[in-house]
Amino acid sequence: MSTARLSDFLARLGLRLVARPLFRIRILGSDHIPSHGPAVLVSNHLTYLDGFLIGSCMRPVVRFLVWKPYYDHKLLTWGFRLAKAIPVWTKPHSAGQAIKRARAELARGQVLCVFAEGSISRTGNLLPFQRGLEAVVRGLDVPVIPVHLGGLWESLYSFEGGRFFWKRPRTLRQPVVISFGAPMPPSSTAWEVEQAVVRLSRTSSSTQTPH
C-alpha cells in the first residue's frame, strides 16, 4: 500500500472511530453522496465534530476547509492533519492562500467540504453563508452538494446552554440525521446554496431520528 493510500485509510478509520461511538447516524439522500471527486460539500456548522461526522459517511477522504483556531485545537488537530484539512485564517492573504489550495485539491479530483457560515453557530440557527464559497468554485466544473446536519444542537457538543462539552449528556450516543441534497451547479451563489441547506433542514426536522 502506498503512503498516500495508507494515509487516506487511516484518515477514514480515524473519522469513523470518533463519530460512530458518539453518534447514531441516519443518512438521507445517500444517492447524492459523491463516490469520487471533484465535488464540494457545503454544510451547516454546529459542533467541533461536524467534520468527523461528514467524513465518516464518505468513501473518498474529504478535504475540509477549517478555521485555523479549530485546526490547531489540541483535541482535534490530529484528525484534521490526518485528513489533510486546509486551515483558514481571517487575514486576506491567508484566506486567499486557503482558497488557492482548495481549488488545487479540486483540480486533483478531491472532495472538499466547506462550512460556509464561517463559524460554529452559537444559537442553533443557520448563519448567513460567506461568499468565499463562490471563490472556491468559480470557473471550475464541479458539483456543489448541500449538506445539513440535524440533531446536533441538542447534543453535548453544541453551544446550547452557552458552553461546549461541559454539560450533562442526554444520551450516550446522540441521534443525528445527515441530509445530502441534489448537486447544484458551481455558478450557484452562496445564498442559493444556503437556501438549499434550509430546505434540507425542514426535511430533516420532519424525519424521525434513529433510535
E strand or H helix that includes residue 102: helix 92-107
Q: Which three cell numbers stand for residue 5?
A: 493510500
Number of other CB atoms surrounding residue 193 within 10 Å = 23
**Which one, of 102, 80, 70, 111, lies nearest residue 15 by Cα?**
80
The pLDDT of residue 209: 47
Q: How many helices (H) and strands (E) does the chain have?
A: 7, 7
Q: Tell me whether residue 127 is exposed, middle or buried, using C-beta atoms within 10 angstroms of its C-beta: 0 to 12, 13 to 18, 19 or more.
A: middle
Q: Which letter does DSSP use for residue 115 in this model? A: -
pLDDT at 211: 41
Q: How far apart are the first and last CA of the chain?
A: 38
Q: Which three cell numbers stand for residue 55?
A: 467524513
Q: How far apart are CA 191 and CA 178, in angstroms?
A: 21
Cell of 60: 473518498
Please report the pLDDT score of residue 206 as a whole number.
67
Whole-angstrom distance, CA of residue 12 vs CA of residue 65: 17
The whole-number pLDDT of residue 68 equals: 85
Which H helix or E strand runs over 22?
Answer: helix 3-22
pTM: 0.89
- Domains in the chain (CATH in brackets) are 3-205 (3.40.1130.10)
pLDDT per residue rounded down to tens, the chain (211 residues): 677 777 778 778 888 888 899 999 999 999 999 999 999 999 999 998 898 899 999 888 899 988 888 788 887 787 778 778 898 886 767 788 999 999 999 999 999 999 999 889 999 999 999 999 999 999 999 999 999 999 999 888 888 776 666 667 677 789 999 999 999 999 999 999 999 999 999 987 766 544 4
The grid coordinates of residue 50 equal 461536524
Q: What is the largest CA-CA distance in the chain?
A: 47
